């Protein structure tokens, strides 16, 4: 990640000192954007019981990214394209996607297999595959930060526009359908938003650790509060804290940032379990 920092003359001078480096600022900005988007979208994903579907989307994206390299396209856009296509396909299943764990798991496995096949045909990309699988937030440049910001704003705006029917369809699907809400349309639009959010999260923690930002903070928040607004705010705050603290710890220790973010996310979730049991 930051291996060789000491030999290149870049000193480790604490949190204040690290802010003098542009690559750290870009990492913090990208991590902050993704933490907010993944937190808000992930909150509804957890509430709807579709976390496994969200996890599968990231693996589909891996095949898209590796396949894009074969045809000379930037991996990020291949990741976005195939993830979005898979999200729309899952959305067409409507509420039934929640009970399709076996089918989704097979799609997940097939996607990783295709990604491996594409790497076999383009071995020069193999070195970048580790970053794609596990993330490398310190490799994010300013242009990527701007792209993440634009896509994140689109995701949040779309989610805000459909928040009421989404919440209605999530909490009372039968009543919502009786009132004229199209559950399939809601599911289709939501899974498209999830797909973009997953692709963004993969830029920070990699496709294998998307759960860390998409599910961890939201699951912990929903253990600690039952109020919707409080839950969303708490999810975002947890995501930001875990991401920024993970980046700072990675800078200080030279350990992978994705490890620290995953560790902090897991710690927060298990702490929420203990708090919930104590409160009960």
For 218-235, the pLDDT digits (tens) are 999 999 998 999 999 999
Distance CA 224, CA 165 (A): 25
4-22 per-position pLDDT tens digit = 444 334 444 566 678 888 8
pLDDT band at 89 (very low <50, low <70, confident <90, very high): confident
Token pair for 209: 């650790």
Q: Which two tokens stand for residue 175?
A: 């009543």
d(Cα 94, Cα 100) in Å, to the nearest integer? 11
Tell me the per-residue pLDDT of 131-190, one tens digit each, with 9 for 90 and over: 777 888 998 999 999 999 999 999 999 999 999 999 988 888 888 888 888 888 888 899
Residue 141 lies in a domain: yes
The answer to whether the CB of 65 falls within 8 A of the CB of 217 is no
Domain assignment present for 3: no
CATH number for the domain harbouring residue 29: 1.10.3470.10
Q: In this structure, is residue 4 part of a structural domain?
A: no
Interatomic CA distance for residues 218 and 220, integer angstroms: 5
46 contacts 208 by C-beta, under 8 angstroms: no
Number of domains in the chain: 1
Residue 6 placed within a domain: no
Asked if the structure places residue 239 within a domain, the reply is yes
Extract the tokens encoding 122. 């383009």
Provide the whole-model pTM.
0.84
Cβ(268)–Cβ(222) under 8 Å? no
Please check whether residue 252 is in contact with residue 12, taking contact to mean a CB–CB distance below 8 angstroms: yes
In a domain, 208, yes or no: yes
Query: Which residue segment(s) compose the domain that 242 sits in?
Result: 14-279
| Phi, psi values for residue 210, rounded to 5° | -60, -35
Asked if pLDDT for residue 36 goes beyond 90, the answer is yes
Residue 56 falls inside a structural domain: yes
């Amino acid at each position: 990640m930051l291996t060789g920092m000491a030999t290149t003359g870049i000193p480790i001078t604490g949190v204040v000192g690290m802010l003098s480096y542009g690559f750290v600022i870009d990492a913090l900005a990208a991590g902050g954007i993704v933490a907010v988007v993944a937190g808000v979208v992930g909150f509804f994903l957890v509430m709807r019981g579709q976390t496994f579907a969200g996890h599968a989307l990231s693996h589909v994206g891996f095949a898209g990214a590796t396949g894009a390299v074969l045809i000379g396209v930037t991996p990020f856009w291949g990741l976005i394209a195939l993830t979005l296509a898979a999200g729309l396909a899952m959305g067409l299943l409507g509420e039934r996607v929640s009970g399709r764990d076996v089918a989704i798991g097979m799609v997940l496995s097939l996607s990783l297999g295709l990604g491996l096949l594409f790497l076999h045909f383009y071995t020069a990309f193999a070195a970048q595959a580790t970053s794609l699988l596990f993330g490398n937030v310190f490799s994010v440049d300013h242009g990527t930060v701007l792209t993440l910001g634009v896509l994140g704003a689109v995701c949040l705006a779309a989610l805000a526009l459909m928040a009421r029917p989404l919440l209605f369809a999530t909490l009372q699907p039968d009543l919502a359908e009786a009132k004229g809400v199209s559950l399939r349309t809601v599911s289709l639009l939501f899974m498209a938003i999830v797909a973009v959010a997953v692709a963004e999260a993969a830029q920070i923690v990699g496709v294998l650790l998307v759960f860390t930002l998409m599910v961890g903070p939201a699951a912990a928040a929903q253990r600690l509060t039952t109020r919707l607004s409080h839950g969303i705010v708490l999810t975002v705050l947890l995501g930001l804290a875990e991401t920024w603290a993970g980046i700072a710890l990675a800078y200080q220790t030279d350990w992978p940032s994705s490890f620290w973010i995953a560790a902090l996310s897991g710690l927060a979730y298990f702490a929420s379990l203990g708090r919930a049991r104590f409160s009960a």
